[in-house]
Chains A and B, each alone.
Chain A
């Protein structure tokens, strides 16, 4: 039982670390602010949820794993909300979205 528990926990933690790595690469490589928010808003949230869920599986069923699940729920609620608030502030400040070429921008405007 404990061996299986450890293997499942390590699998979850490694999957979460992979998603966090992908989110970091996206934050570095994507072209503008509004597309970079995809990386931290979705991929990072999934990665953090997977890592903490794996740690809760490793811990077993007690008060600490309950608190870890509370952290999972809080991250799932708070991280997209914070990212969305930042995007909303940037859009109200007048930051322009990025377009691939100029003709598409003209088509969108006109």
Chain B
């Protein structure tokens, strides 16, 4: 059963590579930020799957929650920064 989680983790790693293309060649800055946020939210699932594959879900679920909170705060802080910068220039 743990092997199934390992295989699904490998599939999700391939899925994570797709937004990375958008991060590299995104036309605007916001496309890159959106791709980075998508990678961050998919990493939560990868961390949970690693926890199940290694049999230490009691430890990895806390790491996943912390990663989710840090990713959310980073996204909100960058959005707020770009909102404020335009207002000061005008």
**Contacts from A to B (Cβ < 8 Å):** 6, 10, 13-14, 16-17, 20-21, 23-25, 27-28, 33, 36-37, 40, 44-45, 48, 51-52, 55, 58-59, 63-64, 67-68, 70-71, 74-75, 78-79, 81-83, 85-86, 88-90, 92-95
Question: Do B15 and A74 touch across chains, with their CB atoms under 8 A apart?
Answer: no
Question: Do A52 and B75 touch across chains, with their CB atoms under 8 A apart?
Answer: no
Choice from A13, A28, A68 contacting B61 with Cβ under 8 Å: A68
Question: Do B75 and A86 touch across chains, with their CB atoms under 8 A apart?
Answer: yes
Choice from B16, B61, B83, B87 contacting A88 with Cβ under 8 Å: B83
Question: Do B79 and A71 touch across chains, with their CB atoms under 8 A apart?
Answer: no
Chain B: interface secondary structure? helix
Question: Do B31 and A33 touch across chains, with their CB atoms under 8 A apart?
Answer: yes
What bracket does the count of chain B residues touching chain A fall in? Answer: 35 or more
Question: Do A27 and B19 touch across chains, with their CB atoms under 8 A apart?
Answer: yes
**Contacts from B to A (Cβ < 8 Å):** 1, 4, 8, 11-12, 15-16, 18-19, 21-22, 28, 30-31, 33-35, 37-38, 41-42, 44-45, 48-49, 52, 57-58, 61-62, 64-65, 68-69, 71-72, 75-76, 78-80, 82-83, 86-87
Chain A: interface secondary structure? helix
